[in-house]
């Protein structure tokens, strides 16, 4: 079940990325995993901004950013 915080983070990411429905589902799953694992998604978002991966203007850039989100969330603990 999605929390208000996850919904807020999903909205923020969605506003900075070009996401298909499948990518939105993937991002939602990553956010749920991150909550369970105690990973701070806002910190990951800041890292992506610092690396110049956000905001994305096309789907290709969004796929790359989404892969980084997954990678950072999986390696954060």
Give the pLDDT confidence of 1-56 residue by residue, as tens digits. 668 888 898 899 999 999 999 999 999 999 999 989 999 999 999 999 999 999 99
Please state whether the predicted TM-score (pTM) of the whole model is above 0.85: yes
| Residue 71 confidence (pLDDT) above 80 | yes
Within 8 A by CB and 6+ apart from 14, the residues are 24, 27
Q: How many angstroms separate the CA atoms of 75 and 56, rounded?
A: 23
Beta-carbon contacts of 74 under 8 Å, excluding residues fewer than 6 positions away, are: 33
Give the pLDDT confidence score for residue 4 in this predicted structure: 85
d(CA 31, CA 60): 21
């Amino acid at each position: 079940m999605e929390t208000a915080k996850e919904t807020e983070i999903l909205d923020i990411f969605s506003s900075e990325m070009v996401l298909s429905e499948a990518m939105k589902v993937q991002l939602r799953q990553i956010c749920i995993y991150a909550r369970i694992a105690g990973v701070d998604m806002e910190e990951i978002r800041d890292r992506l901004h610092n690396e110049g991966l956000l905001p994305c203007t096309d789907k290709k850039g969004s796929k790359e950013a989404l892969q980084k989100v997954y990678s950072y969330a999986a390696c954060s603990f």
